[in-house]
């Protein structure tokens, strides 16, 4: 079965066919035309001297910061890399494939400004059975799909691990215990009772001696 991704919505059966049954994916010619058209719009905005949000400006609180032309490519790369973080259990393979297909469907509407190569990369990954490792946690703000979507796009950036169709990435090894630092050892010794430490003031019998301000000297401060 071949699922054609066009400018319209996908059906639930088409999503299941690709995500769970491994159906192949192709992009409709009219969708590629729409993607190319919107890309030209973004390229024109990127070359414009007037600031345009997210293209030649920062994001969020930095929306009023103008980005010089020579740094705008780096801005986009830095934005994507900043979301490449996740933790927790791995999301099921069929869920990740469904996410990739739906993202491709969004790109095919021609309203995102991406290159046609980006959409074609999504289709190629699905057809090759390459499934990125996406973790359940690690997004931010009200846009809960940013980190998972970024990770699902990772193989084309060669920045993330991926697993073949019949396997998933093995869990990372557990870190070895860190050796105790001299400072932490001093804290443990200080917390442990000492056989030579006084338990009461010899002059007024207050206990512990640090509570006696009249006749007991304050304890010596530890080294920094």
Q: Which residues are catalytic?
A: 53
**Rounded distance, CA 199 to CA 192, Å?**
13
**Rounded distance, CA 100 to CA 126, Å?**
8
- CB 149 within 8 Å of CB 156: no
Half-sphere exposure of 38 (CA within 13 A, CB side): 18
Distance of CA 44 to the CA centre of its chain: 29
- CB 55 within 8 Å of CB 45: yes
| 3 state DSSP class of 17 | helix
| 3 state DSSP class of 89 | strand
**Rounded distance, CA 40 to CA 46, Å?**
10
């Amino acid at each position: 079965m071949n699922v054609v991704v066009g400018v319209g919505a996908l059906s639930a059966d088409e999503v299941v066919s690709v995500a769970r049954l491994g159906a192949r994916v192709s992009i409709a010619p009219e969708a590629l035309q729409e993607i190319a058209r919107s890309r030209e719009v973004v390229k024109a905005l990127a070359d414009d001297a007037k600031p345009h949000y997210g293209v030649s400006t920062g994001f969020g609180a930095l929306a009023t910061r103008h980005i010089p032309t020579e740094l705008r490519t780096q801005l986009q790369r830095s934005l994507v890399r900043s979301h490449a973080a996740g933790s927790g259990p791995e999301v099921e393979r069929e869920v990740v494939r469904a996410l990739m297909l739906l993202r491709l469907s969004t790109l095919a509407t021609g309203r995102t400004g991406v290159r046609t190569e980006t959409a074609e990369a999504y289709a190629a990954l699905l057809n090759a059975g390459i499934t990125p490792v996406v973790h359940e946690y690690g997004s931010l703000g009200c846009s809960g799909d940013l980190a998972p979507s970024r990770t699902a796009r990772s193989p084309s950036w060669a920045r993330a691990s991926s697993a073949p169709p019949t396997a998933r990435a093995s869990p990372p090894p557990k870190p070895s215990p860190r050796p105790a630092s001299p400072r932490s050892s001093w804290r443990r010794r200080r917390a442990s009772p000492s056989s030579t430490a006084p338990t009461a003031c010899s002059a007024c019998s207050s206990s512990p001696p640090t509570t006696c301000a009249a006749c007991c000297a304050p304890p010596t401060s530890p080294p920094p």
